[in-house]
Amino acid sequence: MESVGSIIMYFVIALTIILFSVLAVTTRKILRAATYLLFALFGTAAVYFQLDYEFLGAVQIAVYAGGIVVLFVFSILLTSHPGDNSEKLASRKRALGLVASLAMLGVAGWALLSRCLHLVDRPAMASLDMQQIGQTLMGTGHGEYLLPFEAVSVLLLACIIGGVVVARKR
């Protein structure tokens, strides 16, 4: 049985995620879309904190809110007039998008509701400490992640070089 406080927190977080992700794709001002995306990402970070993954929540806030959304805002300011409304959608295109997303919502939601209702409530878990996370990230044994870590570092290097090459002035 959960405490009343955590149930209230859950509903606040869930409503935040749903509301801001709907707003992020329906607003017609592009800078507002980036801001709503930021709040949806904060909601996700709050879920990570609530599920006892503090490190992951911190990474989510640092990388997404600190890196990606700032990058979005910069590129919006560079490429469009932030006060402008985007054009009104053609009703056919909007209908197409609505059908696709609502059909998916219906099918996946039906599958979830019919299959997952009996699933367990949250088992107890000790909060992960940094030493455990670091050893799993840097170890070479079974179920440890040094190779993906190195692959990601090479990927980031390639991304830096690619970004500079693509975006530089000719």
Partner 1 sequence: MEITMLYYLIPSLVMFCCGVYGFITRRNMIAILISIELMLNAVDLNFVVFNRFLFPGQMEGMFFTLFAIAIAAAETALAIAIIINLFRVAKDVDVKDLSKMKF
Residue numbers 141-160 binding partner 1 by CB under 8 A: 143, 145, 148, 152, 155-156, 159
The residue from 12, 58, 82, 108 that contacts partner 1 (CB under 8 A) is 108
Q: Does 63 bind partner 1 (CB under 8 A)?
A: yes
Site for partner 1 in 16-45 (CB under 8 A): 17-18, 21-22, 24-25, 30, 33-34, 37, 40-41, 43-44
**Cβ atoms within 10 A of the Cβ of 32, count?**
13
Instruction: Describe the crossing of helices 130-138 and 146-167 by its angle, rounded to 10 degrees.
Output: 80
Does the footprint of partner 1 cover residue 56 (CB under 8 A)? yes
8 near partner 1, judged by CB under 8 A: no
**Axis crossing angle, helix 4-26 with helix 30-50, rounded to the nearest 10:** 160
Residue of 81, 85, 88, 122 that binds partner 1 (CB under 8 A) = 122
Supply the DSSP string of 133-147, one letter for each residue. Answer: HHHHHH--STT--HH
Instruction: Say how far apart CA 117 and CA 115 lie, in whole Å.
Output: 6
Position among 82, 97, 134, 139 found at the interface with partner 1 (CB under 8 A): 97
